[in-house]
Amino acid sequence: MLTVKTPDEVLEIIKTAFLPVPDRTETVPYTEAAGRVLAEDIRATEYVPAFNRSTVDGFAVKAKDTFGCSDSIPAILMNTKEILMGQAAGLVLTEGQCAPIPTGGEVPEGADAVQMVEFTEDYKDGTTGILKPVAPGHNIILKGDDVYPGKPVLTAGRKLTAQDVGALAAMGIMKVPVARRLKVAILSTGDELVPPEQTPGPGQIRDVNSSLLSALITQMGAVPVFYGIIPDQEELLSRHVEKAVQECDVILLSGGSSVGVKDAACRIIESQGEILFHGIAMKPGKPTIFGKAGSRPVIGLPGHPVAAFFITHIFIRKLLARLSGQTLREFKVTALLSESVEANHGRAQYNGVFLEEKDGHLTAHPIRGKSGLITTLAGSDGYFCIPRDCEGFPAGTAVSVTLYEL
């Protein structure tokens, strides 16, 4: 019997039935942290910048010395020695003085503003004319303006990006606590499957899901572990699943998840622990099984590659995030449907789309074709969902497209 859940119920079960893995933190050099999930909040330990810096090439001044000046009545200030990059200012500015300073140079004590070189005039006699007044603080980034010791900079759960790595470098944080990469077992079952590099014989097809799922799992930041193409032999399959349960954090079993005689996934998962549910009220992807062996998720995915893809993108991604402590962020765009899409299954329907940007707005071209053919998904950008109680959307409907970008 299928105990069918709605997609929302499945998301709730992912939250309640699974906990973050206990031994999930490891430390990596900051240079290897991009793409990893931050395991603890990062706070600054230093001032950035560590000294008051000029943001322009120009002259450090006392702002009040420039008040009232103009092109016709410049403020004439005495030059001090030049401030050099990478060195302490080494002087204290007094009234009536200005110090030539480069972008990024240390603003000397006594100065409270910098005027851009474009608004100055060099009189070549040791004095400089300031042609435009500056307010205190102008063109200066103050010590600690970016961050100061104790300031929260990055929040645990975030997947670190290139700009985060840049911030870590700026703060001198060389070691980063991250969630270890989860190991995800992939088993593909079906008497008709041959490895992709083999030419299929009569009645045979290439195994798509092993490579499709491996690529998705890798994109999600976990490590796929392939256990091979296994024939529809319950005992053999069972032994492979048992091994995978011992070696991996998550087990994905592709194929055999329906209720046919040869469909053993349900019995096998049950023999490893428990079934949480069998069936999701969605299209594609209905014959999906969520189970548990101890605390480890064991998932029976539909063999249809498109269905396996949607289930993995929508639910397995959330499951991996739950286990590794990642805060997931989903990026959606609004686009106008180029043609009508029907739905009348009483199940939420997920449709892939190609996005096209034209005349200042996004158009979503829905994918046509049978759900079993992965080639129809190739090159697509994302998907939208037609709720279960809706008969479809007419052309021109504004749909919310979730991007496949992970």
Which spans of this chain sit near Mg ion (rule: CB under 5 A)?
A: 190, 255-256, 303
Site map 236..265 versus ligand AMP, x via CB under 6 A? ------------------xxxxx-------
Q: Of all residues in this chain, which one has the CB nearest to ligand AMP in the complex? A: 303
Binding residues for ligand AMP restricted to 155-194, rule: CB under 6 A: 188, 190, 192-193
Q: Which residues contact 358 (CB under 8 A, 6 or more apart)?
A: none
CB of 193 to ligand AMP, least distance (A): 5
Residue 305 binds which entry of Mg ion, ligand AMP, none, CB below 5-8 Å type-dependent: ligand AMP
Binding residues for ligand AMP restricted to 350-389, rule: CB under 6 A: 372
3-state secondary structure of 348: strand
Closer to Mg ion at the Cβ: 132 or 262?
Answer: 262
Residue 302 binds which entry of Mg ion, ligand AMP, none, CB below 5-8 Å type-dependent: ligand AMP
Half-sphere exposure for 169 (CA within 13 Å, toward CB)? 10
Nearest to 297 by CA among 220, 244, 365: 244
Closer to Mg ion at the Cβ: 201 or 294?
Answer: 201
Q: CA–CA separation, 398 vs 35, rounded Å? A: 32
Residue 254 binds which entry of Mg ion, ligand AMP, none, CB below 5-8 Å type-dependent: ligand AMP
CB of 315 to ligand AMP, least distance (A): 16
Q: CA–CA separation, 36 vs 161, rounded Å? A: 8
Does the footprint of ligand AMP cover residue 302 (CB under 6 A)? Answer: yes
CB of 291 to Mg ion, least distance (A): 18
What is the CA angle 120-124-129, rounded to 5? 25
Residue in the structure block whose two tokens are 């496949």: 404
Does the footprint of ligand AMP cover residue 115 (CB under 6 A)? Answer: no
Residue 80 binds which entry of ligand AMP, Mg ion, none, CB below 5-8 Å type-dependent: none
Instruction: Give me the sheet containing 113-116, strands edge to edge.
Output: 113-116, 58-61, 97-101, 75-79, 127-130, 120-122
Closer to ligand AMP at the Cβ: 1 or 162?
Answer: 1
CB of 268 to Mg ion, least distance (A): 13
Nearest to 245 by CA among 295, 288, 211: 295
Asked if 317 and 405 touch (Cβ cutoff 8 Å), the reply is no
Asked if 144 and 169 touch (Cβ cutoff 8 Å), the reply is no
Beta-strand (E) ranges in 166-285?
A: 175-179, 183-189, 193-194, 205-206, 223-230, 250-254, 274-278, 282-283
Does the footprint of ligand AMP cover residue 284 (CB under 6 A)? Answer: no
Beta bridge partners of 298: 251, 291
Asked if 178 and 81 touch (Cβ cutoff 8 Å), the reply is no
CB of 172 to ligand AMP, least distance (A): 48
Burial class (CB in 10 A: 0-12, 13-18, 19+), 397: middle
Site map 17..46 versus ligand AMP, x via CB under 6 A? ------------------------------
With CB under 6 A, what is the number of residues at the site for ligand AMP?
18
CB of 375 to ligand AMP, least distance (A): 11
CB of 308 to Mg ion, least distance (A): 12
Q: CA–CA separation, 77 vs 136, rounded Å? A: 17
Closer to ligand AMP at the Cβ: 205 or 398?
Answer: 205
What is the total residue count of the chain?
A: 406
Residue 209 binds which entry of ligand AMP, Mg ion, none, CB below 5-8 Å type-dependent: ligand AMP
Does the footprint of ligand AMP cover residue 208 (CB under 6 A)? Answer: yes
DSSP label at residue 344:
-
Q: What residues line the site for ligand AMP (CB under 6 A)?
A: 188, 190, 192-193, 205, 207-209, 254-258, 302-305, 372
